[in-house]
Structure 1
Amino acid sequence: MPVDDGVDRFADAVRLLLLIAATSDPLDEVAMRTAPAMAVAVLHAESRLQKLDFWLRNPDYLADELLNDYERQPDSLLLDLAGRILNSEEPEICAIPMVRYLFGAFEHLDRALSVLVAPRLLVVSSQRGASGQVIKDSYYLTQKGRDVAVQATTQFPELAWYTERAVLVRALAEATGHTALALRKRQYLQRDYAQTPLGDIIPSIADRARERLKSLCRTTSGGNAV
């Protein structure tokens, strides 16, 4: 297991804060009654957070899913968005690999989340079953957490990339289904993902996705490249 040197934990915490800020659902009047104080939005289930984080950490897989959507329902915007990712070094520079476990890509997030929980940027609420075992975690974004997310991208513009990609991740998730199971099923349709041995790092598909993008661009009217 990699040693946590504090720097990686802080970087992971920033990424998770921006991801949750972009993908969590605003609390309605009913949800506010049982939500922690100062909570403004929530993302339910660690398994769902893991699936969303995978797409944020692996731009090549995110772009390839945009190409899947394009093939199902051609929209030049999808091709353009995939091109912005694949026609750059983003898949190499921004990738943070994950290990495949039985239920898909996974990484222990407790240490990074603790960086957000301590100052009340995030509140983690656990639902337990009859045996006392945790059956679902809910991640509540507080107003302070939302403010810090905005301040971070304002003071450090390079962090805006996370928010921009998290917005794409949210759109992809909404088109797939809101449950972690729906996201897991979609991610397992990726051959390289599904065939990764348990305990191994899920490999990059950047080269294959780039070739696929070129092929799709050639078949568009006029053969114009993205």
Structure 2
Amino acid sequence: MLNNIVSVVIPAFNEEKTVGRVIEETIQVMESLGLPYEIIVVDDGSWDRTREEASKYKVTVLSNGRNRGKGYALRKGFQHASGDIIVTIDADGSHKPKEIPDLLNTLMEGADVVAGSRFLGKNKNHTSKLHVFGNYLINLTIMALTGKAITDSQTGLRALKRDFLQKISLESEGYEIETEITMKGLKNGFVFKEIPISCDRRKNGISRLCILHHGPKILKTILKHALTTK
């Protein structure tokens, strides 16, 4: 049974239309679990009302003076998190907070990192064909270099033990943070699990993950950490 604080870290950039709903649903889920928890929203230099919307709730809101990237925002959230368990969820509303308990249960069964895979779930129409193909190539590269199968290296819905984060040194600034977490989990002997999640297409705003722009950075991250540990 979980008795420790669960820290939920939500990185956000220009998500004024969805961040409030994500916070509300996360609060409802955590309250229903009866666990001590905290929610940390990291506003990554938004120029809309993301910070103001997040500040309407009893959560910790951290702000970057300018847009630094998802990796920077997550690392900042991790630094401020007090929980022994840390959950990450995106602010765009594509993930479902109601699936957080499944992540936590799998973590308590002995995993160090639990990733919610969009490609193990029933809904396969949650992203563009280009993103699906890009993710497939990334996953294939990871499998070739680590010998371990992975279906969704870029998922933003995860649960991690603090011990895991303390034993690795994250350095990514952008979207490649997801790949760095995956690679360091697989390469350093940690127990890495994937579970199926459902995922909705973004209804508001625009996705800032461009496989053509970010793909090379992600592949570089894979190669770098395939040759090193920690």
**TM-score normalised over the length of structure 1:** 0.24
**Higher helix residue share:** 1
- The structure that has the greater radius of gyration is 1
TM-score normalised per structure 2: 0.24
